Structure formats: C-alpha cells, structure tokens
A and B are shown apart, each in its own frame.
With several copies, the nearest count.
Chain A
Amino acid sequence: MISPRYHREKPQRYRLEAGKCTKCGEIHFPPRKVCRKCFAREFETVELPRRGKVVTCTTVWIPPAEFDDQKPYVNAIVELENGVRLTVMISEAPPDEVDIGTEVEIVFRRLQHGPAWEVIRYGYKARVIAG
C-alpha cells in the first residue's frame, strides 16, 4: 500500500463515511461518483451504522504475506443495520464464535503493518457482540 491511495480512502476506513444519493436515497460505501441505482451524480456524506450481522464468513489459514502474522483469522461479509454490506476481518474472537447470523459491531483497528517502507494500515474490523 502506497500512501496517496491510502490517504484518499481514510474517510471510509477511519470514519465509515458513505455517499447517499440525494435523488433516490441509495447509500454507497465507498462513495461513488454515479449512483448505481438511479445514475444521479449528487451525494451527501453519511456515516454508516456500526452494528450488523454476518452474512457469510471463512477462516483464512493461508493469507497473503503481509497478513501472515495474524493467521488464522476470520473474514466475513457483514450486513449493517441499514443494509450496506462490508467485507471485514473479525477482531478478537476465536473462529468458532463466528457464524452466519452472528451479531457484530464495527471497530477501528490496525489491519497490518506491512514491510518497512510502506505505510502502516489502519481501518475497520468487526467485533462479536457478546450475547
């Protein structure tokens, strides 16, 4: 990850900023220049809700090199309360506590530190809500 691209996506990764179509109300995460639903081109910034449920998930045993120190970890697709879906890593839970339907909340975490010459990546993960 090189820094211009990293910095551009910060509002999404640090604050879950999404784009809401001012014409049809469709919420896009990340924000888009063109509404996928009505093709309009004006948006207002909204923050995503933090709570949601796991739609599907997996435990990754063979990660790319830069995630190797975290294996095994759980990736999941989470549907938030407003219907927006995110791909996330699950934070602080053993794999067998996560399943389809598990309730989670989005939290801010370090994702990985990568090689020495790259930026340290931060962003969102999801944490299981104790039942």
Chain B
Amino acid sequence: MRDVAVIGMGLTPFGELWDTSLRDLFAIACADCLEDAGVARDQVQSAYIGCMTSGLFVGQEHLASVLCDYAGLRGLAATRVESACASGGAAFRAAYLEVASGASDFVLAGGVEKMNDGADATYCLATAADQEYEAYNGVTFPGLYAMIAKAHMAKHGTTPQQLAAVAVKNHRNGAKNPKAQFPLEISEKTVLGAVRVAEPLGLFDCSPVTDGAACVLLAPVEFARKLGKPVVKIIGSGHATDAIALHDRKDPSTIPVVALAAQRAFKQSGLTIRDIDFAEVHDCFTIAEIVCTEELGIFEPGQGGPAAAAGKTARDGEFPVNTSGGLKSKGHPVGATGIAQICELYAQLTGNAGGRQLKNPRRGLAQNMGGSGGSCTVHILEVEQ
C-alpha cells in the first residue's frame, strides 16, 4: 500500500443553521477544503461522504450525486457511506484505502448531517440502535448511554462529578474553537443542575443536535511533500463492528468495539497509546468519553472518571482529549463528526489550531463510534518532522 497524507481541510460552522440546506453545507466545506489544499476540482477523482440518515432528516438519498453536483465536482466517482455516528470515520477509511491502493491520487473524504430541518431528531437517531428490540421498547440514545453510565458507576464507582468534569473540560476547549456550536465555558454546577434527560445523564452530559459538514483531501505522501506544508500522514486505520443492541454485548460498562478498532490501528502503525500525543474521542455523551479513554488504553478500566476529574485530559494535561471541544461543545452533526475529528488532528499537527493549539504535537488519534458501540473507527495521524 502507498503512504497517504491529508493535504487540506474544510469545515462549516457547526450549529442550528436553518438557512443552509444539506447540499449547501457540503458544498461550502468541500470548496473550503479544496482551497486549503490548493488542488483544482478536476483533479479530485473520487469522494466518500459520510452521512447517517439524510433520508429521515431531510428526505433525500442519492447523496453522492446531489452533493458532488452542488459542490461543482460533477463526474467524479463518489459514494455515500453510512455507519450511524461513525459514518465520517468510515468515509475517511474508504478514501484512505482508495489512495493507498493506487487507484486514485486525490480522494475527498467528507461528512455532513442536516439535523435541524423539522424532523424528530430523537426518532431519527434511534435508527442507529436496534429499532425492533431497543427503540420499540422506548429506549432512546441518551437512555442507552445512561445504562452504560449506570453500569460503569456500579462497577467502578464513577461519579456524576466525574461525568461533569468531561463536559466542563470540553466546553473550556470549545470556547477556543470559532466553529463550535456552543463555544462557552460552563461550570460543574451547571452540568449537575441541568434538566434530566435519562438518569444519570442530564442535558449537559449530552451532545447537541447540530447541522454541519466537514471535508479533508487525501493524496499520496510523495505529492504532499511537494507542497511545502507540514506533511500529515495516516499511519494507522482500524475499523470494527459489534452487535447493534447493547443487551447483546456482555458487559454494558464497556464498549469493546473501540478497543478492537484501536488494536487494529495500533497494529498497522506499530505503535501503542503511549506513542500518541492527543486524541479526539467520541464524546456523544460524557460517559462515552470516559469509557472510550479506557478502551483506547489511555487509562486503566475504571480510571477514566478519576482521570477526567484530575484534569489529565485537559489541554494542558498529560493526555489532551478533545481539544476541539469534542462533540459536546463543538457540536455533533452525526455524519460529519468523524471527519471533523480528522480536521482537528490536521489543524493541531500543522500548527493551525489557534487559541487551542498544543505544543508541537507529533501524533494524534481520532476515535469515531456508531450507535451505542455497534461500530467504531480509529485513525492515527503523524506529522513528518
């Protein structure tokens, strides 16, 4: 396989963008990405676009056709990819493999979701769970993660304060991100006192409903080296699936699909978590960030909560997690999230992360998860020094 690099990124603002349609969101992110990369649109040979459920959110399928058309990319090979909230990560992996194979040189990986368009978001998102044997019985997505939290608390003594620490930290990071939906700091008191969604999760334990799009452009590393910019290589890609229903997995205090995807990415790169400087982690709910930091091996099982409370995952902590603000503060347009994570890695590794810039990070990891843990992708990016 050829070595592959990310050579440009584009990201719309994240938020409730009532005036901007699904197709326009993608067109903006795509145009920004190609400008950033400095590559002409007719050089792009292929695109993979992550989107969870445009059919339910806005009544439109055949996304590769409509989105590329409106982005001015007519003619290229383009495919929409879906794996619930991991759609973006899955699109990135498919784009990576196409460049690695040698079939194409310039491949776009995009993601988009238009969630504020009148549809019932709770219903639409529940289609990422088992519709017949979970959602049918009244369980919501916050409800599934609440059951994970309950099990984690019972097994490890994780506390509501530790969950709140994740939200507080991610909002502190998001406040430095001009694209974030909620770029404002919040206090532990705000999180703990918020309206209840599904016990033990309150409103501030949950990521918001967001419109947004993100794109990155991939190319062979040899090409990237000619650009005179930092060269950001993809050195590991892991992808895994698991049973869709939470009740069909052994221990609801764990999300094993994350460890499996990470293990594959680490194996490819020949690294361990100790070689990674920072990570974007799928914090759809505060408990998700805690469990995922354990599954990734950043902390031992049960230590994710105490570590968050101790500031270990803060921007100046020993292992910064979600410098972008995460899904929690930046927003979570489900199909776009996996690509937005890659954008944050790329921004940090090229030194363009503005007020939230880490000091000379060398390797970042992005972990993007579908449903309650039915699918996961993990990617590791490294900047050449």
Which A residues form the contact surface with B (CB < 8 A)? 1-5, 8-9, 13, 30, 32-36, 39, 41, 55-65, 67, 70, 73, 75-77, 85-89, 95, 100, 111-112, 121, 123-125
Contacts and interface: CB of A to CB of B under 8 A. Distances in A.
A112 B253 CA distance: 29
Contacts of B19: 8
Interface string B323-342: 00000000000000000000
Given A58-B199, A60-B143, A86-B247, A100 B151 contact: yes
Interface in B324-373: none
Interface in B1-51: 18-19, 21, 24, 27-28, 30-31, 41
B105 interface: no
Contacts of A124: 137
B147 A75 contact: yes
Contact of B136 (A2, A4, A95, A121): A121
B119 A100 contact: no
Count class of interface residues, chain B:
35 or more
Contacts of A3: 118
B137 A111 contact: yes
A32 B27 contact: yes
Interface stretch (B68-76, B175-183, B232-240): B68-76
A5 B21 contact: yes
B139 interface: yes
B138 interface: yes
A31 B138 CA distance: 21
11 contacts: A5-B118, A30-B133, A32-B24, A39-B31, A56-B150, A56-B253, A57-B150, A63-B122, A85-B248, A87-B134, A87-B139
Contacts of B123: 64-65
A70 to B, nearest CB: 7
A5 B31 contact: no
B111 interface: no
Point out which of B59, B118, B126, B134 has the most chain A C-beta atoms below 10 A from its C-beta: B118
A103 to B, nearest CB: 16
Given A8-B18, A65-B123, A89-B137, A33 B31 contact: yes
Contacts of A60: 138-140, 142-143, 146, 198
B130 to A, nearest CB: 8
A75 B118 CA distance: 27
B58 interface: yes
Contact of B120 (A8, A59, A65, A70): A65
A56 B252 contact: yes
Contact of B137 (A33, A57, A61, A88): A88
A38 B324 CA distance: 33
A87 B31 contact: no
A22 B155 CA distance: 36
A87 B41 contact: no
Contacts of A13: 136
Nearest 4 CB-CB pairings of A with B: A2-B118, A58-B146, A85-B247, A59-B199
A33 B30 CA distance: 10
Given A36-B72, A61-B196, A100 B150 contact: yes
B230 to A, nearest CB: 26
Given A4-B18, A32-B72, A36-B74, 10 more contacts: A4-B118, A5-B58, A33-B31, A34-B70, A41-B31, A60-B138, A61-B196, A64-B123, A65-B122, A77-B252
Point out which of A3, A33, A41 has the most chain B C-beta atoms below 10 A from its C-beta: A33
A63 B140 CA distance: 7
B69 A87 contact: no
A117 B149 CA distance: 37
A64 B148 contact: no
A75 B252 CA distance: 14
A39 B247 contact: no
B97 interface: no
A62 B194 CA distance: 13
Given A39-B72, A60-B138, A87-B134, A33 B246 contact: no
B27 A63 contact: no
B137 to A, nearest CB: 5
Given A4-B18, A61-B199, A73 B132 contact: no
Contact of A63 (B28, B58, B138): B138
